[in-house]
Amino acid sequence: MSNMQLDTLRRIVQEVNAAVSLHESLDIMVNQISVAMDVDVCSIYLLDERNQRYVLMATKGLNPESVGSVSLQVGEGLVGLVGQREEIVNLDNAAQHERYAYFPETGEEIYNSFLGVPVMYRRKVMGVLVVQNVESQDFSEAAESFLVTLCAQLSGVIAHAHAVGNIDVFRKPSNISNYKTFQGVSGAGGVALGRAIILYPAADLSSVPEREAESIPDELKLLDHAVANVRNEIQSLDEKMQDSLMSEERALFSVFLRMLDENALPAEIKELIRDGNWAQGAVKKVIDKHIALFAQMEDDYLRERVSDLKDLGRRILASLQEADAGHRELSSDSILIGDEISTAALVELPMDKIAAIVTSEGAANSHMVIVARALGIPTVVGVTELPINTIDDVEMIVDAYQGRVFVNPPRRLRQRYKEIQKEEEQIAKDLKQYETKETITPDGVPVRLFVNTGLMIDVVRGVQRGAKGVGLYRSEIPFMLRDRFPGEEEQRAIYRQQLSHFANKPVTMRTLDIGADKDLPYFSIDEENSALGWRGLRFTLDHPEIFSAQIRAMLKASIGLNNLHILLPMVTSVSEVEEVLYLLERDWVAVQEEEQVKINKPKIGIMVEVPSVLLQIDEFAPLVDFFSVGSNDLIQYLLAVDRNNPHVSSVYSHFHPAILRALCRLVKECHKYEKPISICGEMAGDPLSAILLMAMGFNTLSMSSSNILRVRKAICHVPMSDAQELLDHVLQLNNPLLIKSWLEYYFKNHGLADMVKTNRLVSV
Ligand code: PEP
Ligand code: MG
């Protein structure tokens, strides 16, 4: 594609994105495309799924009156053909094609050539884009590729608008007071009913939610105050820069000041406030409008001013947010909503007030989800279509089993979910009897269940639910709760709590595993490809001072308890372990000397997360005491699928045959070298896969405290002989979904239906 075409493409996408409604987006699309491609007609048909028809939604060239009234059945006409085949149809004479359907009201008879491109979003046809010419000549390959590229970029806008209006785009403008459902990915199970509360990053224009002004005079005052602040800020910046910037470079400041004149931006913002918007929302709308105007300009210089405008908007917003904390008080049924919610942001909030969490980004095994799961908070992530800015304080149901979110649910549905909540409470009550039971199969095979910890609540629940030890203490969690790296003594006290609650039982402490999605608020690692970047052991080996402080704190914390095991995350190569062993030996000797006590040398293990480890067990085995599978990351790296990307969440499965087969081999290898092998990824906490892991011969399964009782119940009901048969069978299957269904079938037929999360499908 030529640079000019790329420019045009970028401009069209920008304009379409800036439109305020789907109808406006579609009009911009057809008008701009017809100019850019120099065609006589450009039309867009969208699929109305409810009526199974393609509706003409916008056109440049055909009779405008036919918009909204002309529609074709799925499979009817050339448009239907494009949709059916899901591929381009390029014809020099459309009328001669057997599928041509003629609608007199469009005035289309004079156009001969036809190029139809399907608008696809996540494998689904959303609509068809058509260009036509009077001249009878098929379209060039360049025209085809231009349109295909454009459609691929625009499909997201259409999908989003559909979701916001829930298909009612065909009937009336979208209105958030409607009942709508959104699909995401199940994070932590459970259901909740409550009201949305938006958690949005400070000074981020794009995430300011729409909210009505509680008091218009107050919002006007807030704005005046904020504008005055920003004006002062810019004036002092201007003065400060007098010596270091030339006057023309400082011209921007006077542009900013002019924009802040009472009759300029503030006047527009105030108008919106008087219409009932709260000040932050009004600022966002006005800035967005101006950005859209600037972005359309052909002049590069002016287009670049967009970032200045955004900067100004952010400054006003920041000042407004300073005056008002921005977040409403949480009530007991608050459903926390955000594009992305970090673990640090989550754990700062009062947990007992959070009924559920919903995010538009992220995936099932992100760190935040793991923490939410430990806390028992129903969580749905990757709800990409969720119109976050428009659902503040709206009533919702979150069905985290199915990964569904219902906005403004009808009474019937609320009723049904209240019943489900009651059933859930009953299941939880029944499970309580497993708190004191031994984990042993009906044919007498004991299985060790450990708990994964991070917060103190995990420890308390783990002890209460009969965990026989800690299989994974995520030491980065206390690091996330602070505003700087905790010192050695501070760490010692934290670790001591963990170790002493499990006195006489093994506590496996993982060294700091930051990087990728585990960001520290005070040490952000900004990398393009962070999952493959500076994380885990790679980071700590580069910072021996941080690593050593942690090891020393762990050793000191274990004095007199002697139950410390140390686990190394993200190990890739033997040399890394050798380096750690050297540091450990040094610290172990030093701490004993300083403290004048003998400390038992902790057992050292490595996580099996990077596939290279799978192939070098023979070389790692002589160096370490045990192995622990971090299946969350192992799946990510073995299947080459980002564990946080909702677009590929269907590829991420712990039932993938390659994962199961790799784990079987791994267990055999470890046993060959007589090294204990445990698993602490989320896969261990799913009763379906836990049964397979038990059959493979894992010595220990370590999981979130919220899964212990379910897994124990499953183990107490599934004889090892059945588990082995199940494993033998699924190892013959090549499809993760088939494997999962096979296991579910067994569970349902053996009185374990309650343990299968998907059994409570509510059809709506
Ligand atoms: C894992 O990767 O499976 C694991 C247990 O570690 P984390 O989820 O903390 O990356
Ligand atoms: Mg991991």
CA end-to-end span of the chain, whole Å?
45
The residue nearest atom 3 of ligand 1, judged by CA position, is 630
Question: How far, rounded to the nearest angstrom, does the alpha carbon of residue 199 sit from its chain's CA centroid?
Answer: 14
What is the CA(633)–ligand 2 centre distance, in A? 5
List of long-range contacts for 649-654, beta carbons under 8 Å, 24+ apart: 649/185, 649/363, 649/364, 649/382, 652/363, 652/364, 652/365, 653/736, 653/740, 654/681, 654/682, 654/683, 654/686, 654/689
What band does 388 get if pLDDT is binned at 50, 70 and 90? Answer: confident
Residue 678 beta carbon below 6 angstroms from any ligand 1 atom: no
Report which ligand 1 atom has the smallest distance to the Cα of 516. 10
Instruction: Indicate the burial class of 267 (C-beta count within 10 angstroms; 0-12, 13-18, 19 or more).
Output: exposed
* pLDDT for the residue numbered 173: 34
Residue 241 CB coordination number (10 Å) = 13
Q: Position of tokens 């595993």?
A: 513
Residue 632 beta carbon below 6 angstroms from any ligand 1 atom: yes
What band does 164 get if pLDDT is binned at 50, 70 and 90? Answer: low
Name, in order, each residue with C-beta under 8 angstroms of 601's C-beta and a sequence gap of 6 or more: 588
Residue 576 in this model has a pLDDT that exceeds 90: yes
* SS3 call for 211: coil
- Per-residue CA distances from 660 to 613, 690, 712 (Å): 16, 12, 21
Dist. CA 690–CA 696, nearest whole Å: 10
What is the CA(632)–ligand 2 centre distance, in A? 6
What band does 761 get if pLDDT is binned at 50, 70 and 90? Answer: very low
* pLDDT for the residue numbered 166: 37
Residue 384 beta carbon below 6 angstroms from any ligand 1 atom: no
What band does 763 get if pLDDT is binned at 50, 70 and 90? Answer: very low
What is the CA(3)–ligand 2 centre distance, in A? 42
Six token digits for residue 127: 């609509």
Q: What is the pLDDT of residues 506-536, one digit of tens each?
A: 999 999 999 887 878 778 788 889 999 999 9
Dist. CA 217–CA 333, nearest whole Å: 30
Q: Encode burial over 297-332: b for 16+ CB neighbours within 10 A, e otherwise.
A: eeeeeeeebbeebbebbbbbbbbbbeeeebeeebee
What band does 342 get if pLDDT is binned at 50, 70 and 90? Answer: confident
* SS3 call for 704: coil
On average, the pLDDT of the chain sits at: 88
Q: Encode burial over 188-214: b for 16+ CB neighbours within 10 A, e otherwise.
A: bbbbbbbbbbbbbeebebebbbbbebe
Maximum separation of any 2 CA atoms in the chain, in Å: 97
Q: What is the pLDDT of residues 219-278, one digit of tens each?
A: 999 999 999 988 988 888 777 667 656 666 667 777 788 888 888 899 999 999 999 999
Residue 302 in this model has a pLDDT that exceeds 90: no
Dist. CA 201–CA 337, nearest whole Å: 12
What is the CA(481)–ligand 1 centre distance, in A? 19
DSSP states of 282-331 as a string?
HHHHHHHHHHHHHHT-S-HHHHHHHHHHHHHHHHHHHHHHHHS--SPPP-
Dist. CA 690–CA 249, nearest whole Å: 64
Residues making up the chain, counted from first to last = 764
Please state the φ and ψ torsions of residue 139, each to the nearest 5 degrees: -80, 150
Please say whether the dihedral angle defined by the alpha carbons of residues 719, 373, 497 and 579, taken in this order, is positive or negative. Answer: positive
Dist. CA 300–CA 518, nearest whole Å: 38
* pLDDT for the residue numbered 172: 35
Residue 659 beta carbon below 6 angstroms from any ligand 1 atom: no
Residue 515 beta carbon below 6 angstroms from any ligand 1 atom: no
Q: Are strands 564-568 and 507-510 parallel, antiparallel or unpaired?
A: parallel
Six token digits for residue 435: 């708190």
Ligand at minimal distance from the CA of 680 is: 1
Residue 335 CB coordination number (10 Å) = 26
Q: Of 92-101, 230-239, 679-688, which has the strongest mean pLDDT?
A: 679-688
* pLDDT for the residue numbered 349: 80
What band does 370 get if pLDDT is binned at 50, 70 and 90? Answer: confident
Dist. CA 196–CA 2, nearest whole Å: 46
Residue 168 in this model has a pLDDT that exceeds 50: no
Dist. CA 482–CA 522, nearest whole Å: 8
The residue nearest atom 8 of ligand 1, judged by CA position, is 632
Residue 132 beta carbon below 6 angstroms from any ligand 1 atom: no
Of the chain, the percentage scoring pLDDT greater than 70 comes to 91
Residue 544 host element (H or E): helix 544-557
Residue 174 in this model has a pLDDT that exceeds 50: no
Residue 468 beta carbon below 6 angstroms from any ligand 1 atom: no
Q: Sheet with 354-359: list strands edge to edge.
A: 180-183, 404-407, 395-399, 191-198, 334-338, 354-359, 379-381, 185-186
Q: What is the pLDDT of residues 424-465, one digit of tens each?
A: 899 999 999 999 999 999 999 999 999 999 988 889 999 999
Question: How far, rounded to the nearest angstrom, does the alpha carbon of residue 312 sit from its chain's CA centroid?
Answer: 29
Q: Which of 301, 302, 266 is nearest to 287 (CA)?
A: 266
Ligand at minimal distance from the CA of 476 is: 1
* pLDDT for the residue numbered 656: 98
What band does 661 get if pLDDT is binned at 50, 70 and 90? Answer: very high
Six token digits for residue 598: 């003998």
Residue 148 in this model has a pLDDT that exceeds 90: no
Residue 474 beta carbon below 6 angstroms from any ligand 1 atom: yes
- Per-residue CA distances from 287 to 17, 225, 390 (Å): 14, 18, 17
What is the CA(573)–ligand 1 centre distance, in A? 18
Q: Which of 681, 645, 651 is nearest to 663 (CA)?
A: 681
Angle between helices 657-672 and 720-730 (to 10 degrees): 120
* pLDDT for the residue numbered 556: 97
Annotation marks residue 42 as catalytic: no
- DSSP letter, residue 708: H
Report which ligand 1 atom has the smallest distance to the Cα of 628. 5
DSSP states of 740-751 as a string?
HHHHHHHHHHTT
Domains of the chain: 3-164 (3.30.450.40), 180-199+330-407 (3.50.30.10), 205-323 (1.10.274.10), 438-760 (3.20.20.60)
Q: Do residues 606 and 630 touch, judged by C-beta distance below 8 A?
A: no
Q: Which of 670, 671, 640 is nearest to 656 (CA)?
A: 640
Residue 636 in this model has a pLDDT that exceeds 90: yes
Please state the φ and ψ torsions of residue 399, each to the nearest 5 degrees: -105, 95
* SS3 call for 536: coil
Please state the φ and ψ torsions of residue 40, each to the nearest 5 degrees: -75, -35
Determine the average pLDDT of the residues in 680-690. Answer: 96
Dist. CA 304–CA 299, nearest whole Å: 9
DSSP states of 488-527 as a string?
HHHHHHHHHHHHHHTTTS-EEEEPP--BTTB-BTTB----
The residue nearest atom 6 of ligand 1, judged by CA position, is 630
Name, in order, each residue with C-beta under 8 angstroms of 500's C-beta and a sequence gap of 6 or more: 561
What is the CA(747)–ligand 1 centre distance, in A? 27
Report which ligand 1 atom has the smallest distance to the Cα of 472. 5
Residue 214 in this model has a pLDDT that exceeds 90: no
Residue 409 beta carbon below 6 angstroms from any ligand 1 atom: no
DSSP states of 561-600 as a string?
T--EEEEESS---HHHHHHHHHHHHHHHHHHHHHHTS--P
- DSSP letter, residue 120: E
Residue 551 beta carbon below 6 angstroms from any ligand 1 atom: no
What is the CA(552)–ligand 1 centre distance, in A? 23
Q: Do residues 627 and 608 touch, judged by C-beta distance below 8 A?
A: yes
* pLDDT for the residue numbered 300: 64
Radius of gyration of the chain from its Cα atoms, rounded to whole angstroms: 30
- Pick the catalytic residue from 160, 290, 367, 654: 367
Report which ligand 1 atom has the smallest distance to the Cα of 609. 2
Q: Do residues 257 and 234 touch, judged by C-beta distance below 8 A?
A: yes
Residue 327 in this model has a pLDDT that exceeds 80: no
Q: What is the pLDDT of residues 22-77, one digit of tens each?
A: 777 888 889 989 998 999 999 999 998 878 899 999 999 998 888 888 889 998 99
Q: Of 274-278, 361-365, 685-689, 755-759, which has the strongest mean pLDDT?
A: 685-689
Identify which has the larger pLDDT, 176 or 687: 687
Six token digits for residue 328: 């409403």
Q: Position of tokens 């793991």?
A: 370
Query: For residue 237, which amino acid is it?
Result: L
Report which ligand 1 atom has the smallest distance to the Cα of 452. 5
Six token digits for residue 432: 């309580």
* pLDDT for the residue numbered 604: 98
